[in-house]
Amino acid sequence: MAIDRRRETAGGGPGRLPPAAEENGALPPGDAAASAPLGGRAGPGGGGDIQPLPAPHAAGGPHPSLLLLDYDGSVLPFLGGLGGGYQKTLVLLTWIPALFIGFSQFSDSFLLDQPNFWCRGAGKGAESAGVTATGQWGGGELANGTSPPTTLFPTAAWATAGPLGNGSGADGGEAPPLPSPPDKGDNASNCDCHAWDYGIRTGLVQNVVSKWDLVCDNAWKVHVAKFSLLVGLIFGYLITGCIADWFGRRPVLLFSIIFILVFGLTVALSVNVTMFSTLRFFEGFCLAGVTLTLYALRIELCPPGKRFMITMVASFVTTAGQFLMPGLAALCRDWQVLQALIICPFLLMLLYWSIFPESLRWLMATHQFESAKKLILHFTQKNRMNPENDIKGVMPELEKELSRRPRKVCIVKVVGTRNLWKNIVVLCVNSLTGFGIHHCFARSMMGHEVKVPLLEDFYADYYAAAGIALASCLAMCLAVRFLGRRGGLLLFMILTALASLLQLGLLNLIGKYSQHPDSGMSDNVKDKFSITFSIVGMFASHAVGSLSVFFCAEITPTVIRCGGLGLVLASAGFGMLTAPIIELHNQKGYFLHHVIFACCTLICIICLLLLPESRGQSLPESIADGEHYTRQPLLPPRRGEQPLLPTHAELKDYSGLHDAAAAGDGLPDGATANGGRPM
C-alpha cells in the first residue's frame, strides 16, 4: 500500500532529516540508539543528551560530515583536548585579563563614593562633633562577573550626604535621616556654602564627588554617573554578542581592547561630570565586549569535564581584583591616577592580536572549514603533533568539505525554536532576579537601618561583600560537583527565596512583638536576624547569578553562544541597574522592590525544572542540537517504569492505522477496516 511505501521512505535513506523537536525532549528509541557512538554522553547526574546529528553526506550535500560536527568527540581529542600545551596557554591567557576586569568592575565604589563633607572654614572638628551628617555606605551590587559576571558588575556604595542641620547631633548612636530629593531643595547650613571640605573614606585624597562638588543640589549627578557604566555594559552585551556570532570572537575581543584603552584613559582626563558619565558609558560598552568574548572563548576551548573548573578559576581571579582594589586606591591617592592604572594593563592585551587565534569550535560550527583547516594545522604545529596520527580521519573529512559555504546565524533565529528560547528566557529571569535581589540583601546588611559599629566602616563593608562573594564561589564548586548545574542552581535559588521571605516576614513579626515590654525582644535581636538573613541572601543570590550565566553558556549552541550570553548578562545588568535608580529616588520604593524580587524567586524555582542538565555533555553546535537538548527529571525513574505519555515516534508509528491499511486489501467492497459497513 501507499502507506507502507511512505513509511519505508521515511524510515531510512541517507537524506533523512532529524525529527522535529518535542516539547518534553524525548528521543525516539531508534534514533537514541543510533546516536550513542557520537552523540552527547550521559553525565554523572543522569542529564540529557543531544539528539542525533544528520547522517553523513557527500561533499556539497545539505549537511557536512557527522565527524566534523562532533567537535567534542572527534576534533578536540585529535588536538589533544586540554592536555595540549598550546591549549593550556590559551586558557591561561583568558584568566589573566579577569584581574583587569575585576578592577574595572569595582572601580565605582572608589571613584564615586560619597564622602563626609562640611563647609570650608568650619574645620574638620565640626564633623566629629556631629555638625555633619552622612548616610552610611550600603554596599552596592558587589557580585563576581564570570559570573557573572560572577558578577558581575557592582554599583557604587549606598551613601548620601545629608544636610548639616538634619544631623543626629551629639547622639552618635542614631543613624541620620536620609536627605531630601534634589528637586525639593534643602536650605540647611552646609548646602548654603559655596565651597566644602571632604573626608574621603576610600584611601583617595580626591575622587569624582570632591573634584566637582557633587553634593546637595548636585548629588543626583553621582547616581547618573553610577548607572552610566551599567547602561554601557547592558548595550555592550547585547550588541557585541550578536557581532561576535557573525564576525567571530577574535575581532570583537581585539577591537574592544583598543577602544577600552581609548575611552578608559580619556575618562581620567574628564573636565566635568557630564564628560565623565558619557565616557564611562562607552568604557562599559567596550568592557562588555572583552568580558563576553573571553567567557565564550574559555568555554569553547575546554572539554566537557573541565568547563566549570576553568570558568571558576576566572571567577576567583576576578574576586582577587576586588580584594586588591583598596590597595590600589591607597597607592594612587587620586582618582585620575587610579583610573589610568586600572586601564593601562589592557595594553598587554594588544599582544593577543598575534597570540590568540579565532575559536576553532565556532569556525567548525559555522562551516568555515578552510580557516578551520589552517587553525588545526597551527594547533598541531604548536603542540608538536604529527597530523598523520589522525585515527578518526578528521583531516580527510575536512578536505572534502573545503568548498562548502559558511553558514552564520544570528540570535534572532532562536525565536523560531520550540525549546531553546524557553531555556534562555528562564536563565535570563534567573540572572535578573539573582543580581537584582543581591542589592536588597546588601542594603539590609549595610544600610542605615542596621546600627552595627563594625558595618559603619567602608573597608568592613567592602571586604564583607568581597568575602561573601568568595565563599559563594567556593560553595558553587561543591554544589555543582555533587548536584550538577540544574540541581545546584535550584538549591541556591531556594536559599535565596527563603532568606528573602524570612527577612520580609519574620523581621516584621519580630519588630511587632519587640514593642511589647514583656516580649523579651529588642531591636538588637531584629538587627542580628537581619544581618544573618542578609548574609545568606547575598551568598545565595551571588551563586544564582553566576550559575545562570554559566548554564546559558553551556546550553546555547555555538553558532549563537555569544548572543545568548549577551542576553543573560544584559539581564544581570538590568538587575543591578535597579540599585542606582532607587538611590536616585532617595530609596523610595525599596520595600516594593524587595517584594517583587522575592516573588520572582518563587517563579524561578518552578521554571528551573524546565531546564536540561548539561553536566558532562558535549556543547551543542547548531540550533538543531540546542533544540534537541533533552530535559530529564531531577530524580531518576524507577526500573521498569513506563512513561506516562507516548513519544513522538510512538504517535507517528500508530499501529492501528497500519493494520487497518493492511487489512483493507482483503475486505469485500463496502466494508470498513473494523468490519462495519457504511450507512
Q: What is the pLDDT of residues 461-507, one digit of tens each?
A: 889 899 999 999 999 999 999 998 999 999 999 999 999 888 887 76
pLDDT surpassing 80 at residue 170? no
Residue 128 has pLDDT above 60, yes or no: no
Long-range contacts formed by 304-309: CB under 8 A, 24+ apart: 304/41, 304/43, 304/72, 304/616, 304/617, 304/618, 304/619, 305/616, 306/82, 307/554, 308/477, 308/480, 308/485, 308/550, 308/615, 309/477
Q: What would the grid cell of residue 190 be?
A: 552646609
Element (H, E) at 196: strand 196-199
The distance between the two most distant Cα atoms of the chain, rounded to a whole number of Å, is 114
Q: Is the pLDDT of residue 435 over 80?
A: yes
Is 60 exceeded by the pLDDT of residue 52?
no
Most confident of 104-113, 382-391, 649-658: 104-113
DSSP state of 669: T
- Give the pLDDT confidence score for residue 96 in this predicted structure: 92
Q: Tell me the average pLDDT of the chain.
A: 74
**pLDDT tens-digit series, residues 316-372:** 999 999 999 999 988 988 899 999 999 999 999 999 888 899 999 999 889 888 888
User: Which single residue is written with the C-alpha cell 519505508?
Assistant: 8
Cβ atoms within 10 A of the Cβ of 128, count?
A: 12
Q: Which range has the worst mean pLDDT, 73-77, 250-254, 447-451, 490-494?
A: 447-451
**Amino acid 637: pLDDT:** 57
Per the CB < 8 A criterion, the answer to whether 612 and 48 are in contact is yes
pLDDT of 643 strictly over 70: no
Q: Looking at 65-69, 390-394, 475-479, 669-673, which range is the least confident one?
A: 669-673
Using CA atoms, how far residue 473 sits from 433, 466, 608, in Å, is 18, 11, 20
- Chain Cα centroid distance, residue 581: 21
All cell numbers assigned to 76: 578536540
Cα–Cα dist 275/266, whole Å:
9
Which pLDDT score is estimated for 320?
94
Coil, strand, or helix at residue 517?
coil
pTM, two decimal places: 0.75
Of 170 and 597, the one with more pLDDT: 597
Convert the pLDDT of each residue in 571-611 to its tens digit. 999 988 887 777 766 666 567 878 888 899 999 999 898 88
Round to whole Å and give the CA distance between 577 and 571: 10
For the cut 70, the answer to whether the pLDDT of residue 63 exceeds it is: no
- Measure CA 515 to chain center: 43
Angle between helices 85-105 and 273-301 (to 10 degrees): 160
What single letter denotes the amino acid at residue 228?
A: S
Tell me which of 305 and 445 has the higher pLDDT.
Answer: 305
Q: How far apart are CA 539 and CA 550, in angstroms?
A: 17
Higher pLDDT, 61 or 102: 102
Three-state SS for 24-70 is CCCCCHHHHHHCCCCCCCCCCCCCCCCCCCCCCCCCCCCCCCHHHHC
Q: Is the dihedral of CA 454, 460, 465, 467 positive or negative?
A: negative
Measured CA to CA, the distance from residue 490 to residue 605 in angstroms comes to: 6
Residue type, 165: G
Which residues lie closer than 8 Å to 330 by C-beta, 6 or more apart? 203
Q: In the prediction, which pLDDT does 581 show?
A: 77
Enter the DSSP assignment of 357. -
Most confident segment among 176-180, 212-216, 389-393:
212-216
Residue 87: per-residue pLDDT: 87
Residue 449's pLDDT is what?
Answer: 43
